[in-house]
Structure 1
Amino acid sequence: MSEVIRTDSAPRAVGSYPHARRVGNLLFLSGIGPRDARDNSIPGNVLDAAGTLVSYDIVAQCHSVFANVKAVLTASGANWADLVDVTVYLTDMANDFKAYNAVWADYFPDAATAPCRTTLGITALPTPIAIELKCLAVLPPVA
């Protein structure tokens, strides 16, 4: 048995999938990006008159993606301490990793209690975002 989690506090999925799924005491979050749940905008993106991406602010996107992950965790009855593994997708590893790593340290200052993490440099994501997180959490068993 599994429980599907959806929340209006996180951006809508760009496909047919839930924000998260709980199976036993495991919580699997779908890939979560930095889009704003209220209006689907992407914090830090600068577009030209034609709507083409000109630049972006990776720090703004990092803070937004963490807020979105937290919203899904909260909707699932979970919190930061329940995260055990995070896969990070960056579209510009060379330029964005250092800034991302600094923001990560703000949210997880103690490496001993931080979740495991893998960071991958990729060529693109399905919307004009620079970062996406895929998370796994372990929750107490359902009574």
Structure 2
Amino acid sequence: MSIYQSDKAPEPVGLYPHARRVGNLLFLSGVGPRVKGKKEIPGVTLNDQGEIVAYDIEAQCHSVFNNVKDILEASGAGWRHLVDVTVFLTNMKDDFGTFNRIYAEYFEEVQPCRTTVEVNALPTPIAIELKCIAALDF
């Protein structure tokens, strides 16, 4: 088993790696839109208590897809290796259409299996997180 950390992706918010390879499978830990070394989150406006008061799901989608790409590359993989993506949205009703449109831009050629679920909250003040699995031997 190998553990991978990207020097471009944001630091994990707990004790876990960006990715772990087991055999020919690469498992990415949950990836959000945060940016390495920055306190501000793309597309997120917080109040003084750190609660979300406004957010731009489009900005968050682009940021999270870039973070996934950076982690894949740091692990010796690429976009084409993705086989399964689980998407966590905090507001399915308002954000699914925008997310789905942007997702199609990134995944037009590579079409991994996908599950999208709504969650009440995520560990940081974000509206989207991805959990990805890649296969490296093809």
- Identity across aligned pairs (percent)? 59
1:85–1:116 Cα contact (<8 Å) kept = yes
**Distance change >3 Å, CA 37–CA 85, structure 1 → 2:** same
Find the residue that maps to 1:85 and give its secondary structure.
Answer: strand
Q: Is 1:27 matched with 2:26?
A: yes
Task: Tell me which residue corresponds to 1:103.
Answer: 102
Pairwise CA distance, 1:109? 1.7
AA of the residue aligned to 1:84: V
Task: Tell me which residue corresponds to 1:117.
Answer: 114
**Distance change >3 Å, CA 122–CA 40, structure 1 → 2:** same
Task: Tell me which residue corresponds to 1:70.
Answer: 69
Find the residue that maps to 1:94 and give its secondary structure.
Answer: helix
Aligned residues: 138
Pairwise CA distance, 1:136? 0.2
**Cα offsets for 1:55-108 (capped at 9, x unmatched):** 000000000000000000000011110000000000000000000000001101
Find the residue that maps to 1:71 and give its secondary structure.
Answer: helix
Unaligned runs of 5+ in 2: none
Find the residue that maps to 1:22 and give its secondary structure.
Answer: strand
Structure 1 runs (4+) greater than 4 angstroms displaced: none
| TM-score (norm. length: structure 1) | 0.92
* Matched ranges for 1:72-87 at <5 A: 72-87=71-86
1:11–1:40 Cα contact (<8 Å) kept = no
Find the residue that maps to 2:16 and give its secondary structure.
Answer: coil
Unaligned runs of 5+ in 1: none
When Rg is computed on C-alpha atoms for both structures, the one with the higher figure is: 1
**Distance change >3 Å, CA 4–CA 100, structure 1 → 2:** same
**Cα offsets for 1:37-72 (capped at 9, x unmatched):** 131421011123554321000000000000000000
Task: Tell me which residue corresponds to 1:45.
Answer: 44
Q: Which stretch shows the higher mean deviation, 123-132 or 44-53?
A: 44-53
| TM-score (norm. length: structure 2) | 0.95
**Distance change >3 Å, CA 10–CA 40, structure 1 → 2:** farther
